[in-house]
Structure 1
Amino acid sequence: MIRTGQQYRDSIRDGRRVWVNGERVDDVTTHPQFKPLVDVRARIFDMQHEAEHRDLMTVAQDGELNALGSALPYTQDDWWAKRRSTDHMLNTIGGVVTRVGDETVGEMWSLYDGQDVLNEVDPQFSKNIERHIHRVLKEDPFHVSANTDPKGDRSKAPQDQDPDMLLHVVKETDAGIVVRGAKYETAAAYANQAFTKPTIANWGNNALSDYAVGFICDLGSPNLRFLCRTGFAGRADARDYPLSNKFDEVDTIVIFDDVLIPWENVLFYRHTKAATFIRATLHRYSAFAFVQRNLKLADMMIGAALFNARQTGLEKQQAVQEKLAQLAVYREGINAHLTASIALGERSPAGLMMPNQSLLYTGRVLACSQLHQMMHIARELCGGQICVTPDVATFENPETKPWLDKYYSINDEWVSDDRRKLLAFARDMLNSDYAGHRLTFQLFAQSPPFAHLGAVYRNFGWEGPLAFVKDAAALSDRVMAGQSASKGDSAVSHWFASQNEGAARSAAE
């Protein structure tokens, strides 16, 4: 069943050991650098109970109301509902948050699809996966994701350096496995559980490895430590930095100091082929919610830039219209990829409805690779005043207020206070420390750019262009004979080959 914001707050008051700014945190729900996001997440939980939001954010199943974002997708309508729900949630809270659960639970669905591969390791793991997918739906935890390790020297295998640089199993017991190492996890300090899995690792030719392990980690477990980067909230007046003070998602290096993971929480273990498969298919669902956040960020940039152009009377200039159009093209490019990925959705091996993989992953490349250019265009359109405008205290000081009222008021519609608010919003979105952090975060949050392009390479339907050129150039049939073999013999390659061959048929169905 859906839970309340207060139940969520109570669930993370579990004695976890959290540090930020060199100090131990007594309560993450009240600490000034965690409280804003805890409050946002609690608000999302509460929205699920309120009549105004409930129908958009929940789904009735087996006589219970469950969070729509956690429900398995079986049809295109399921994806349209998820998209509407996320848009409604972001519109209501007034900004973009990435790690609130709906964008990470999809990684579990990829495991659901990979049960045949994982059964080669141990059929029990498939049962664990199915149980945890339904547990997320029924218990409504704040579920996050753990991918990146400190890594160390990437030219060496994990075993050839400090072995703890990559998370690994150090012991098996009757109760479960004991793991050691570290993971970077956004929001871990104030979440309930994390799907923890290998980073992109150098397995060599090993068939088995203690580093090839994936599990659900209860973030209240003993022997975990949370070492957080300093937050942006609380550094300055929230009226000067409205986004930093409300939507900063604190990143954490989670130390696993011999943490016991019960066997029922282990999802795969030791089999490097299974780990490789999971890495290759990890984002086939979660990328949708991630890219949808970029769409909302594009809306924020367009809104701020257009307001600024209109208030200063520059909207009618051709050069301004062209830059606004570039922002619109970026926005609609993301929108088109998301829309088409639903309209041409594909049936997964487990019978779920996947967004069209080629369109989804190319949309992700578009959204991330062009974001820095779009932010610069938005800066130009907002003008230099976003970097020179005084703070709110100066606007309110009786000695300086009359001057700023005079020079920042444009007309009866745009008085100095509203203009200051718009410039503060744009500055925080485009120019602040928080803005720079978010740009880097969007670039790497799901995986690095080379992995984004790797996903496109594995999912694009290369056979179509090849067949077209073969016929157009009157090439003989033998030139196509080796194409399937050239893809390799891995389970991942064979799976992708079968998906590409059936994509058109799945879309038609």
Structure 2
Amino acid sequence: MIRTGQDYLDSLAADRDVWVDGERVKDIATHPAFAPIVGLRARIYDMAHEAGTSDVLSYLDERTGERNSVANKLPKTQQDWVDKRAAIDAVLDEARGVVTRVGDETVGEMWSLYDGQDMLNEVDSRFSANIRRHVDRAVREDPFHVSANTDPKGDRSKRPQDQDPDMLLHVVRETDSGIVVRGAKYETAAAYANQAFTKPTIANWGDAELSDYAVGFILDMNARGLKYLCRSGFAGRRKPEDYPLSNRVDEVDTLVIFDDVEIPWEDVLFYRHTRAATYIRATLHRYSALPFTQRNLRLADLMIGAALWNVRQTGLEKQPAVQEKLAQLACYREGINAHLTAAIAMGQTSPGGLLMPEQSLLYTGRVLATTQLPAMMHLARELCGGQICITPDAASFANPDTGPWLEKYYSINENWVAEDRRKLLAFARDLLNSDYAGHRLTFQLFAQSPPFAHLAAVYRNFDWDGPLDLVRSAADLSDRVTGGAA
């Protein structure tokens, strides 16, 4: 049954070994670095129960009569995807910023493995039964689900077996109850999540058919042997009135240490078979690329809004050069939206009987959203102007000695007084110029995989036969000519 915010807070074990800024965290829910994002995740759960948002974030399961999360629902129709997009927008509206790792963006990775049940059955029939059970559990129990993917990697010119073996997560032994794993994974939101789909990174397994590094499982984040080493949070470091996004929607990234953690057999999704690991790497974002890319759409809207308010404040909206830059931002925004909309409209039936977004459109949309983001952020900076990097903090505006001068020079007219001007510049600075903004830019570029892997996904899913056949006909090539394997 769909959870409440308190259910979620109660699920976070008090004895988790979480560290940040060199100190162990006593209470994740109240620690300054975690409290805003943990509170927001709890708020999302509560929204599913409230009259104004319940029908957007939840649905009534006709089979069980229970209300479940729209985010965790297996997508079988176009309407399911339309509903998921609406749910994401509702969450981002509540956050008043962009949050990525809140569950909906990662649960789809399990659906990719759900599509691979025939392959899993060839390896071990237990594994396909495990993925079906966990997909069903995600629907019924509504855990906060994240994804553990990236390892420290070490020297990538060497095989993992030829260096410190713990650089990549691997199995060290089997027990009657399960497998014991050792190593480390980077994962955003791990310290305050319930479970993670833990899987291998892009690795050089050589010609081995079996490898202790080719392992995937569902990880209980309260399991023994886990240690969470978190980067410094942006929340609490500076005042919220000066850095509103940093203090509201920062998602804390974590190096999760697996110190001989036992994974029960019922939670193992594949093990040792490199074929299964290769399959999941190739299809991992078949579904989750859509909600991930939709975050870039919201980021584009925030940049457009911040830029447009700034040029309207200063009376520059009618300038052709300004309009040209705004139009470029609009093209970026609508390009993302068009890819997402078309990917749903042209959705395809997956091997597991689900409706997956049209893959070529989805992956090319992701490339557009991520590769153009740095240029679009710079355009938005130009439109916001240099004051976003030189404006004093809120305390200076409030001080009786300095405030009158700032009131004089930051008031534009009777509609735009100094305080509103300061708030807009502070928001734009945090969105585009702050350390949080730089972190968000890097995160969007690498969070699902590096740019070369995004392009590799396009290469694997684009219909190369169409252009080949077109030119065969236009150039009157003989039937003996073959295109080869794209």
1:177–1:261: 8 Å Cα contact kept in structure 2?
yes
Q: C-alpha distance in 2, partners of 1:471/1:59?
A: 50
Residues 238-257 of structure 1 mapped to structure 2, 5 A cutoff: 238-257=240-259
- Cα deviation 1:469-505 (Å, max 9, x = unaligned): 111111111223x63xx35xxxxxxxxxxxxxxxxxx
Equivalents in 2 of 1:97, 1:261: separation in Å?
A: 29
Does the alignment pair 1:172 with 2:183? Answer: no
What residue is the counterpart of 1:392 in the other structure?
394
Q: After the TM superposition, which residues 193-232 of structure 1 pair with which residues of structure 2 at under 5 Å, given as runs?
A: 193-232=195-234
Question: What whole-Å deviation, never above 9, does each CA across 1:126-177 have from its counterpart, x for those lacking one?
Answer: 0000000011111111100000001111011110000000000000111000
Pairs within 5 Å for 1:384-463: 384-463=386-465
Tell me whether 1:54 sits opposite 2:54 in the alignment: yes
TM-score (norm 2): 0.99
Q: CA deviation at 1:93?
A: 2.1
SS in 1 for 2:79: helix
- Give the 4+ runs in structure 1 shifted more than 6 A: none
Q: Aligned to 1:110, what secondary structure does the other structure show?
A: helix
**C-alpha separation in 1, matches of 2:14 and 2:359:** 39
What is the deviation of 1:117?
1.3
Give the match for residue 273 of structure 1.
275
**CA distance, structure 2, for counterparts of residue 31 and residue 433 of structure 1:** 20
1:336 alignment partner, one of 324, 335, 338? 338
Q: Distance in 1 between matches of 2:82 and 2:412?
A: 42
Cα offset for 1:94?
A: 1.0
Matched, 1:22 2:22: yes
**Whole-angstrom distance in 1 between the partners of 2:74 and 2:415:** 47
8 Å CA contact retained: 2:14, 2:27: no
1:70-219 equivalence runs, <5 A: 70-219=72-221
- Native 8 Å contact 2:407 2:417 kept in 1: yes
Deviation at 1:59, TM superposition (A): 1.3
Cα displacement (A) at 1:203: 1.0
**Cα distance between partner residues in 1 of 2:184 and 2:279:** 22
Residue of structure 2 in register with 1:496 after alignment? none
Amino acid aligned to 1:366: L
Q: Which residue of 1 aligns with 2:365?
A: 363
Q: Which amino acid aligns with 1:129?
A: I
Structure 2 counterpart of 1:7? 7
Distance 1:333 1:478 in 2: 39
C-alpha contact (below 8 Å) 2:14/2:26 kept by paired residues: no
CA distance in 2: counterparts of 1:68 and 1:299, whole angstroms: 24
Aligned counterpart, 1:284:
286
CA contact (8 A) 1:37 1:248 kept: yes
| Identity across matched positions, percent | 74
Shift of 1:284: 0.5
The code of the aligned residue for 1:205 comes to D
| Aligned mates of 1:85, 1:6 — CA distance in 2 | 21
Partner of 2:31, secondary structure, is coil
2-structure distance, mates of 1:247, 1:375: 18
For 1:148, the aligned partner's letter is: T
Task: Indicate conservation of the 8 Å contact 1:13/1:27, yes or no.
Answer: no
The match for 1:37 is 37
Question: Is the Cα contact below 8 Å between 1:13 and 1:28 reproduced in 2?
Answer: no
Higher helix share: 1
Is 2:352 the counterpart of 1:376?
no
Q: Supply the distance in 2 between the matched residues of 1:178 and 1:382 (Cα, whole angstroms).
A: 53
Return the alpha-carbon distance in structure 2 between the equivalents of residues 66 and 418 of structure 1. 41
Correspondence for 1:469: 471
How much is the aligned-residue C-alpha RMSD, in angstroms?
A: 0.7
Name stretches of at least 5 consecutive residues in structure 1 with no aligned partner.
488-509
- Aligned residue identity for 1:140: D
The separation in 1 between residues aligned to 2:359 and 2:140, in whole angstroms, is: 28
Corresponding residue SS for 1:73: coil
Give the secondary-structure state (helix, strand or coil) at the position aligned to 1:180.
Answer: strand
Cα distance in 2 for residues equivalent to 1:182 and 1:222: 14
The Cα shift of 1:12 comes to 0.7
Q: Partners in 2 of 1:63 and 1:397 — Cα distance?
A: 58
The answer (yes or no) to whether the contact 2:95–2:248 under 8 Å persists in 1 is no
Residue 497 (structure 1) aligns with: none
TM-score, L = length of structure 1: 0.94
How far, CA to CA, are the matches of 2:381 and 2:100 in structure 1?
23
More deviation, 397-406/174-183: 397-406
1:14 Cα deviation from its structure 2 partner: 3.5
Aligned-residue offset at 1:400: 1.1
CA–CA separation in structure 1 for the residues paired with 2:25 and 2:185 = 20
Partner of 2:257, secondary structure, is strand
Structure 2 Cα separation of the partners of residues 182 and 199 of structure 1: 11
**What is the identity, as a one-letter code, of the residue corresponding to 1:427?**
R
Q: How many angstroms apart in 2 are the aligned matches of 1:466 and 1:123?
A: 41
User: Partner letter of residue 235 of structure 1?
Assistant: R
Cα deviation for residue 92 of structure 1 reads 2.2
Q: Is the 8 A contact 2:97 2:245 kept in 1?
A: yes
Distance in 1, matches of 2:23 and 2:424, equals 35
Gap regions ≥5 residues in structure 2: none
Separation in 1, partners of 2:298, 2:414: 30
Tell me if the contact between 1:150 and 1:182 (Cα under 8 Å) persists in the aligned partners. yes
- Verify the 8 A CA contact 1:79 1:342 in the aligned structure 2: yes
Shift of 1:17: 0.1
- Code of the residue aligned with 1:300 in structure 2: it is L
Q: Which amino acid aligns with 2:402?
A: T
- Paired residue total: 484
8 Å Cα contact 1:147/1:185 also seen in 2: yes
Q: Which amino acid letter does the alignment assign opposite residue 244 of structure 1?
A: S
How far apart are 1:81 and its partner, in Å?
0.7
Per-residue deviation, 1:269 = 0.6
